Amino acid sequence: MEYTAQALASIVNGEIKGDPDVTVSEFSKIEEARPGTLTFLANPKYSKYLDTTEASIVLISRYLVPDRNVKPTLIIVDNAYESLAVLLEFYQRSKQKRRGRERPSFVHRKAKIGRGVYIGVFSYISKNAVIEDDVQIYPNVFIGENVKIGAGSVIYPGVKIYSDTVIGRNCIIHAGTVIGSDGFGFAQREDGSFKKIAQIGNVIIEDDVEIGANCTIDRATMGSTIIRKGVKLDNLVQIAHNVEIGKHTVIAAQAGLAGTTKIGDFCMIGGQTGFAGHLRVGNNVKIVAKSAITGDIADNQIIGGIPAVPHKDFLKNLIVSKRLYKLVEDINQLKREIENLKNR
């Protein structure tokens, strides 16, 4: 589909500088753009490409608009990156969704399927599952008994959703993710062996959550593992049993949260961060990548390190660690001077 600059500007409440009738049908990076595409400029580092880009339309942050005239039509907004997200979502939703049921696939006679649902080939929908309107279920998906998936959600290929899981509206679950597998619960016997503890809870995922590829979210031992509204998980994130993640928190790749950890609202957690179990993290917390969280964290903190400490202390420790070799040399020199003094 083609869109005019005028139509796109109306979506993001932008101001046009140039031809309002120029059309685009695709998106592109500013340094690689072709005619008929829309690109964006939100970082001053890429301003040099504004004079050479072949893009027909540039979505640009207001503070980066040049005084000179440029070839592409500009759509001027306060935050180009945020407006780009709006346009990309619009573009994605404007694509025609798949509908109907491909065969072979299996839908239990007691499952409830809403209107406009797509079920891909080799997918399996179990007894008493409820699939609401306009859900997209791609090939090779397994949906267990009593699972509920809210309207407009998208389940990509190879996702496995165990029994009793509840998924909200407009969620996106990427390929290979497993939701509702058993939590890691074992009781050690006197002889050192381990007895499995049955995991009888479930997973609840609220509205507007996006979960990356190859994540695992374990069912609760009892009660629920809960992912609150608007949470975004990157690829390869492990969420253990009875964990709760607060609304609009984002977690980058390869992070792992041990059982019963509670994360607050609006947190930002860097990649490869590990959490010990039974911790409480407050709201608006930011955690540097590769941190090890071993204790509770209050609201509005920025922390990092192994083990994690306040961010200012983390930076000081980092500076010191880069000078360790010099400190060792200084200590060895002092030891030699002390020995010389003793010998005198």
Catalytically active residues, by annotation: 241
- The two beta strands, 202-205 and 224-227, are parallel
Cis peptide before 72 (omega within 30 of 0): no
- The two beta strands, 15-17 and 73-77, are antiparallel
DSSP class per residue in 141-181: -EE-TT-EE-TT-EE-TT-EE-TT-EE-TT-EE-TT-EEEE
Pair 216, 239: CB distance under 8 Å? yes
User: Of 245, 217, 219, which Cα lies nearest the Cα of 232?
Assistant: 245
Q: Calculate the CA dihedral of residues 108, 109, 110, 111 and round it to 10 degrees.
A: 50
Q: How far apart are CA 93 and CA 153, in angstroms?
A: 12
Pair 162, 179: CB distance under 8 Å? yes
Q: Is 29 helix (H, G, I), strand (E, B) or coil?
A: coil
